[in-house]
Structure formats: structure tokens, C-alpha cells
């Protein structure tokens, strides 16, 4: 049903379907336009399409809105949204042909991210309060980072981990106690930034010209250090990327001491989704900030 829905909305006939790997949530495909076409779509072009049997409510339209929100700034490249539906669930994007990094790939990305984070953002969270990510995390608007990170990330994740038995009761208690103390790490001058929200190396594509494209966002207004901490968590970004960011828009004093704090939420997510490999890492971060 979703294939027919996609063809109808795009006004094309799709064929040569090729399933793609690499995702842990959605099923992804490359399809070729075999007939029809309008609005820049031509026969022979490829389209990226992903779907899911039972995604969180409004998952793909939220992702599409996030890509458009990032694109508004004009600093980072994101695929054009070609079509989207929540019932049946699918998202069609511009196809990006991958290539290899050039000499300037990392520096250009660092500068582009700094410019993205400098763009106006009204609040921490989302004005539409839509959930993001495969766990459906809340994004109610908040006036401070500490309030947002506590009520919209750490406490909901602790509840999910408790329900699924992903973490020990002692670790869950530690998360809840840290959430009460986040004001100790907050800075009254921190303004919300437009965040990609899930910026690990698998969500960065490099095209044939060496240019970076960002995909699969979990967009919300948040602390800009969060995106950068996520980039450091699993690697895949060169030091020159972070140096270029720092040159364009220097981080506030003490940012190095907050890296692991920002990494705590994605570590809990991974403990919930993937199990024991991330349990010790989660506990180690809690131990660091409880001392």
C-alpha cells in the first residue's frame, strides 16, 4: 500500500527497487523513476524512500519537518523532501550519491554546524511538542536547558529503562537524582539552538564532491553542545571539524567537562535499544557526575 501511496503523491512510476542496509529502525529503499515525473523529478532519477510497519505517531512527517527546519538556515545541506505520509507511513527524499571526503570536508562541516546553531530558535524543545526518535521522546517547550534535559530526556528515558528492565534500579535512581541537579551545570546565558538531535557519523553522508549532507534528524531546540557531544560519542568526525566550529563560534568555558553529561541521554537510549554493551558506559557517566 505504501508504494502505491508514494507513487500517487509523487506522480511517478517507481521500479528497480533496491533495499538498503544500515538502519536499525526503518526499512530503506532506492527506487528509480520509470515513468511520469514533475516538479524536477525525471525518468531515470533515483529516489530514497523509507518506511516502517509501526512507527511512533507522525514519525515521518516530523522528520520531514525537521529537515525543512534545518534547511531554512541554509548552512548545512539536507536532502530535499519529495513526499511524505504518516498513513501509510513513508518518506521520500532526494537521492544523494555518496563519494569520498576532500581536504575541506571536515572544516566545512564544522563551520556549517556553528552557523546552524547560531540561527534563531525560540525555545528548548519543539513548539509543536511532537516526539522524536524511535523511542518517541517528548519535546515540550522549556525555558532552560536544565529543565528540558531533565523533564524531556533523562526522566522519560529512566522511566522507559525501568519499564523494560534495561538498567538496574540503582542506575535509574542515579539518573533521577542527576536530573534534579542539572541546574548546577546550566548557564543562564545558554540560548536554544537548532539541533540535528542525532548527529552520529551514520547520519552524515559525503557526496561525490566531498560535501557533507545530514540525514535522519531528531530535530529540537537544545544546547548546542549536545550535537557536538553526540559527534564525539561514536567517532567518525575529524578534529579539524571541531576546530573549525570553535573558530567560527567558540564554546563557553568548561565545555569539555560537560561532554559526557550530554552523552548520557544517547547512552541510555542505546542501553534500552541494544542492551548490556551500553549499561556500564551509562553507569560510568553517572558515577562521574555524582562525585
Tell me which residues are annotated as active site. Answer: 198
Residues 6+ apart with CB under 8 A from 225: 251, 255, 258, 259, 262
The Cα–Cα gap between 263 and 216 comes to: 18
31 and 178 Cβ atoms separated by less than 8 Å: no
200 and 214 Cβ atoms separated by less than 8 Å: no
How many residues are given for the chain?
A: 291
With CA atoms as reference, report the closest residue to 216 among 50, 7, 31, 17: 50
- Grid cell listed for 102: 576532500
The Cα–Cα gap between 38 and 203 comes to: 28
Q: Is the peptide bond before 88 cis (omega within 30 degrees of 0)?
A: yes
The Cα–Cα gap between 58 and 132 comes to: 9
**Burial profile 109-147: b = 16 or more Cβ within 10 angstroms, e = fewer:** bbbbbbbbbbeebebbbbeeebbbbbbbbbbebbebbbb
User: Is 91 strand, coil or helix?
Assistant: strand
The Cα–Cα gap between 233 and 215 comes to: 18
Strand partners, 222: 193
13 and 37 Cβ atoms separated by less than 8 Å: no
- Grid cell listed for 72: 531554512
Amino acid at each position: 500500500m505504501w508504494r502505491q501511496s508514494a507513487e500517487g503523491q509523487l506522480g511517478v512510476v517507481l521500479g528497480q527497487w533496491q533495499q538498503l542496509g544500515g538502519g536499525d529502525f526503518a526499512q530503506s529503499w532506492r527506487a528509480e523513476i520509470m515513468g511520469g515525473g514533475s516538479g524536477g523529478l525525471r525518468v531515470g532519477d533515483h529516489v530514497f524512500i523509507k518506511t516502517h510497519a509501526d512507527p511512533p505517531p507522525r514519525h515521518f512527517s516530523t522528520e520531514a519537518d525537521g529537515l525543512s527546519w534545518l534547511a531554512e538556515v541554509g548552512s548545512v545541506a539536507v536532502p530535499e523532501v519529495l513526499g511524505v505520509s504518516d498513513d501509510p507511513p513513508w518518506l521520500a527524499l532526494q537521492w544523494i550519491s555518496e563519494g569520498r571526503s576532500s581536504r575541506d570536508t571536515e572544516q566545512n562541516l564544522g563551520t556549517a554546524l556553528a552557523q546552524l546553531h547560531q540561527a534563531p530558535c525560540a525555545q528548548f524543545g519543539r513548539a509543536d511538542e511532537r516526539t522524536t526518535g524511535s523511542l518517541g521522546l517528548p519535546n515540550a517547550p522549556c525555558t532552560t536547558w536544565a529543565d528540558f534535559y531533565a523533564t524531556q530526556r533523562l526522566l522519560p528515558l529512566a522511566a522507559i529503562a525501568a519499564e523494560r528492565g534495561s538498567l538496574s534500579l540503582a542506575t535509574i535512581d542515579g539518573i533521577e537524582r542527576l536530573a534534579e541537579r542539572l541546574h548546577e551545570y546550566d548557564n543562564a546565558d545558554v540560548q536554544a539552538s537548532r539541533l540535528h538531535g542525532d548527529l552520529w557519523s551514520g547520519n552524515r553522508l559525503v557526496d561525490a564532491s566531498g560535501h557533507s549532507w545530514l540525514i535522519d534528524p531528531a530535530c529540537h531546540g537544545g544546547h548546542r553542545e549536545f550535537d557536538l557531544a553526540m559527534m564525539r560519542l561514536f567517532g567518525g568526525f575529524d578534529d579539524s571539524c571541531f576546530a573549525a566550529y570553535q573558530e567560527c563560534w567558540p564554546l563557553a568555558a568548561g565545555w569539555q567537562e560537560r561532554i559526557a553529561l550530554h552523552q548520557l541521554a544517547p547512552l541510555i537510549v542505546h542501553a534500552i535499544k541494544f542492551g548490556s554493551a551500553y549499561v556500564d558506559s551509562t553507569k560510568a557517566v553517572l558515577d562521574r557526575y555524582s562525585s
